[in-house]
Amino acid sequence: MSIADSWRIEKTSRPEPELSAVLDSFITAMRREEPRVLGFPGNLDFSYSHLAGLLDVFVNNVGDPGSREKSDVNSKSMERAVVEFVAELANADPVQTYGYVTSGGSEANLFGLDRGVTVLPEARIYASAAAHYSIHKIARLMNKELVVVDCDDDDRLNPKALERLCRSDAGRGAVVVATIGTTMTGAIDDVALLSQAAAAAGDVYVHLDAALGGLLVPFLGEERSWGFACPSVGSLAISMHKALGMPVPCAIALCRTQLVDDHVRGEYVGATDNTLGCSRSGLAAALLWYALAGKGRVGLAAQARSALDTAKYAAKQLADIGCNPVLQPRSIIVVFDRPPEWVCRKYHLATQSDRAHVITVPHVTRDIIDSLCRDIGGTKR
């Protein structure tokens, strides 16, 4: 790919006003599109610009959030508060739960699956055909076999199919990825049923990929039964730049405390470190603390319910114009017939063969849904 002149980095320094002007036009272009970004799970309704002071300090959370490393220039006190809050949302006992802020959902999935295959080294990894592609990458990196299990008609991992496959693995155990909000439809796997089904292989370790749904399901029914309430669940991943809204990608990885240890990893840093990296973004942890403390459980619940209402509204409007929408229970993803290409592009829709979807994260308004429906309706006349 060629590099446009405005982006090229020259041998000599460029004047600050020129650089700012280039960036300002970048920001303006991004913001212009925002209201019409309907196909992706990132909530764009946020503002952190008054926290710009954080951009003038280097905040590096090396090692475990609970470990004090030598450099001691970190936001770990905020990170611990974030982890405790999210652990409670996930029905974990904060004292019995380890967690940290990762670079994104994929790293949080890698962390959880690494714990799972450590506990059950003979086990294969099972995930549904609708699981996120990061699971495939992770299995490849771990040199582990990934068994792809069929979905039922509602895009959920089919427990009967899982049981059949696990029966031939009797004695090896099973590491199962349950998806809490699949990427295309937002479907939520039934963790209790999957755990039962996988027991045909022996011991069961379940990792929850709640990258998409982790800040929604705690508020949309079954708040007490999801997450670590199920004893076979060992770990959980939740992306924080999706429902919450963040200017940088980040996620939370959680696991049961007995799955980590407290060895100091390297005299150089002097920290205990069960994370997958070394340096980690203290900026992300500070912004997360600010966002979560500002909303609280009550604010998150209101946001989740409002997103669900907008999804139901979108499904109704799309049905009225004959687009065959499908909305899974407790999902904010509406899947419908793929409109003409210019509509997909105008509204940044995600598409898969003859279907498209919108995700009603908080910046998606009813007005913009109406506008989408008008544009689709116009093409049908």
Residue 213 and residue 219 in contact, taking contact as beta carbons nearer than 8 Å: no
Binding mask 302-321 for ligand PLP (x = CB under 6 A): --------------------
Which stretch in 81-89, 141-149, 163-171, 179-187 sits in contact with ligand PLP by CB under 6 A?
179-187
Cβ 22 to ligand PLP shortest distance, Å: 27
In the bound state, the residue with its beta carbon closest to ligand PLP is 105
Does 280 engage in binding with ligand PLP (CB under 6 A)? no
**DSSP secondary structure letter of residue 132:** -
Q: Rounded to the nearest whole angstrom, what is the least distance from the CB of residue 188 to ligand PLP in the complex? A: 11
Of 102 and 310, nearer to ligand PLP (C-beta) is 102
> Of residues 44, 147, 211, 286, which one binds ligand PLP by CB under 6 A?
211
Q: Which stretch binds ligand PLP (CB under 6 A): 92-100, 169-177, 204-212, 367-375?
A: 204-212
Annotate each residue in 99-128 with x if it binds ligand PLP (CB under 6 A) or - if it does not, as one string: -----xxx--x-------------------
Q: How far is the CB of 19 from ligand PLP (least distance, A)?
A: 29
Binding residue for ligand PLP, selected from 76, 115, 124, 132, defined by CB under 6 A: 132
Q: Is residue 253 close enough to count as binding ligand PLP by CB under 6 A?
A: no
CA count, 13 A, side-chain hemisphere, 303: 24
- CA pair distance 93, 60, nearest whole angstrom: 27
Smallest gap from Cβ 278 to ligand PLP, in A, equals 19
Looking at the Cβ atoms of 105 and 112, the one nearer to ligand PLP is: 105
Closer residue to ligand PLP in complex, CB, 216/323: 216
Q: 239, 235, 293, 286: which is closest to 61 by C-alpha?
A: 286
Residue 320 structure tokens: 């009225």
Kindly list the distances between the CA atom of residue 139 and the CA atoms of 111, 161, 250, in Å, as whole numbers in the listed order: 12, 20, 21
Contact between 212 and ligand PLP (CB under 6 A)?
Answer: yes
Per-residue x/- mask for ligand PLP, residues 6 to 45, rule CB under 6 A?
----------------------------------------
CA distances from 128 to 132, 253, 299, 340 (A): 9, 21, 32, 30
Q: How far is CA 195 from the centre of its chain?
A: 22
**Which H, E and C letters describe 91-118, residue by residue?**
CCCHHHEEEEEECCHHHHHHHHHHHHHH
DSSP characters for 23-78?
HHHHHHHHHHHGGG--SSS-------GGGGGGGGS--B--S-TTS--SS--S-HHH
- Count each helix (H run) and each strand (E run) in the chain, helices first: 9, 11
Are 379 and 372 in contact, with CB atoms under 8 Å apart?
Answer: no
**Cβ at position 64, least distance to ligand PLP in Å:** 21
Of 116, 214, 245, 249, the one binding ligand PLP by CB under 6 A:
249
User: 312: which 2 tokens?
Assistant: 């139901």
Number of alpha carbons in the 13 Å side-chain half-sphere of residue 206: 27
Q: Decide: is 179 part of the binding site for ligand PLP (CB under 6 A).
A: yes
What is d(CA 133, CA 130) in angstroms, rounded to the nearest whole number?
A: 9
Q: How far is the CB of 44 from ligand PLP (least distance, A)?
A: 15
What does each C-alpha distance from 178 to 104, 160, 214, 253, 308 come to in angstroms?
18, 14, 12, 15, 22
Kindly state the smallest distance separating residue 240's Cβ from ligand PLP, in Å.
8
Positions in the binding site for ligand PLP (CB under 6 A):
104-106, 109, 132, 134, 179, 181, 183, 209, 211-212, 239, 249, 251
